Amino acid sequence: MAEEESGQEKTEDASLKRLEKAREDGQVARSRELGTTLLLMTGAISMLIFGASLAERFQTIMRVNFGFDRNAAMDTNMMAAMLGNSLSSVFDIVGLILFLLMLAGVIGAIGVGGWLISPKPIQPKFSRLNPLEGLKRMFSMKSLVELFKAVAKFLLVAGVAVLILFQMETDLLSISQQALIPAVSHSTWIVVWSAVGMSAATVIIAAIDVPFQIYDNAKKLKMTKQQVKDENKDSEGKPEVKNRIRQIQRELAQSRMMSAIPDADVVITNPEHFSVALKYDSDGTGAPIVVAKGADEIAIKIREIANAHDIPILRSPPLTRAIYYTTEIDHQIPAKLYLAVAQVLAYIYQLRARPSASRVGPKPAGPIRASSLDSQLDIPSDLQFDAEGNLEE
């Protein structure tokens, strides 16, 4: 397994940042065998499809162009015209074959790793002139793999060629008994089919080489645990990244907080600046919990949600500020505020228990004013804050 100079093993998959950097440096998976296979297959199949037509046209060209007298041979204009006619007669087929070969070459080049133009791989590096480094590359695992592929490709193609020769032994021996033109046609047919068979054999090598190159490139780009930590530290250390993370965290926290307001028992409000929503389990196993709190616009939003879900809203500035400045969301209120909050909850429960007939008039649009209750609430002096969060004198 590859190791860093520090001795740490590269066990972690490459991060997105490392993959992007490697791509900028031109370090992507490439398979030369794929390109070679596509070129050979395209050329062989093209000759199989267009070979007969191309042979007929060459036959016509040779018959026409070799039938001229001495005067025609001395006429440069006529010879130029004959050359032009010869080229134009085969241009469409030859041009199509060349286009297909070029297309196959492009597909083979970008088939693994995608389209990439980077000057860095061809930039001069003095380390390549170091004889010791050259010897290391010569006897490296990559060189051994390339040697193995070359030997395997030779043996495979040679084996297929021998097999084809055995299969076509009768055809090869019969050529000598044929007339010139049929013999040439028969020989061409044998050569083309042999090329198709041998190029098809390279498909096996390409099918092995492509996944190997992808795996080998991914292995080279693996990172040590320390590299991953350093990269995360660098990324998260950027001010814009940290600010964005904080913004997302605030948005998620606010969204969760707002969704918890409908489950609250009461919302206590300032009401100009602060609002806190409390929830209390009726089994009495724990203290009331702050499910939401906010100032200014968030405080208004809390009251709007409470109104929409018929959550009682109580106006008590001292208690609101005490809870707001001492208790975080999803935390229990301080023990010193148990009595004051218990009085508020008892007041709310009394309102709920009051018969409907005794409630005269429409439901109040704003917070319930309980000035008399405010004077009865037991709020310790060390928990009495002003609007700025400072302890009152």
pLDDT tens digit sequence for 93-140? 888 889 999 999 899 888 887 777 766 666 666 566 666 666 666 667
Pairing of strands 313-315, 266-269: parallel
- Per-residue confidence (pLDDT) for residue 120, from 0 to 100: 66
Asked if residue 310 belongs to a domain, the reply is yes
Which residue(s) pair with 180 in the sheet? none
- Per-residue confidence (pLDDT) for residue 5, from 0 to 100: 47
Residue 24 has pLDDT above 50, yes or no: yes
pLDDT digits (tens, 9 = 90+) for 254-307: 888 888 888 888 898 876 788 999 988 766 567 888 888 888 888 888 888 888
Chosen domain end from 201, 224, 247 = 224
Q: Give the number of other CB atoms < 10 A from CB of residue 164.
A: 18
160: containing domain: 26-224
Which tokens go with 364? 């109040």
The verdict on 181 and 48 lying in the same domain is yes
Asked if residue 147 belongs to a domain, the reply is yes
Chosen domain end from 205, 224, 243 = 224
The verdict on 201 and 284 lying in the same domain is no
* Closest to 359 measured CA to CA, from 319, 312, 322, 392: 312
Asked if residue 389 belongs to a domain, the reply is no
The verdict on 51 and 197 lying in the same domain is yes
The verdict on 171 and 45 lying in the same domain is yes
The verdict on 126 and 193 lying in the same domain is yes
Q: Which 8-state DSSP code applies to residue 263?
A: G
b/e per residue 207-234 (b: at least 16 CB within 10 A): eebbeebbeebeeebbbbeebbeebeee
- Per-residue confidence (pLDDT) for residue 374, from 0 to 100: 61
- Per-residue confidence (pLDDT) for residue 358, from 0 to 100: 45
The verdict on 211 and 296 lying in the same domain is no
Asked if residue 136 belongs to a domain, the reply is yes
The domain tally of the chain equals 2
Q: Give the number of other CB atoms < 10 A from CB of residue 363.
A: 7
| CA angle, 124 then 127 then 130, to 5° | 120
- DSSP conformation letters of 330-355: TSBPPGGGHHHHHHHHHHHHHHHHS-
- CA distance linking residue 318 with residue 341, whole number of Å: 12
The verdict on 274 and 373 lying in the same domain is yes
The verdict on 193 and 270 lying in the same domain is no
The verdict on 209 and 337 lying in the same domain is no
Determine contact, residues 345/265, Cβ cutoff 8 Å. yes
CATH code (residue 290): 3.40.1690.10
Asked if residue 240 belongs to a domain, the reply is no
Q: Which 8-state DSSP code applies to residue 235?
A: H
- CA distance linking residue 36 with residue 31, whole number of Å: 9
Residue 72 has pLDDT above 80, yes or no: no
Q: Give the number of other CB atoms < 10 A from CB of residue 204.
A: 15
Among left, alpha and beta (phi > 0; psi -120 to 50; other), residue 190 is: alpha
The verdict on 213 and 336 lying in the same domain is no
Asked if residue 340 belongs to a domain, the reply is yes
The verdict on 31 and 149 lying in the same domain is yes
Asked if residue 235 belongs to a domain, the reply is no
The verdict on 308 and 219 lying in the same domain is no
- CA distance linking residue 80 with residue 84, whole number of Å: 6
Chosen domain end from 224, 248, 274 = 224
Mean pLDDT confidence for 329-339? 87
Asked if residue 197 belongs to a domain, the reply is yes
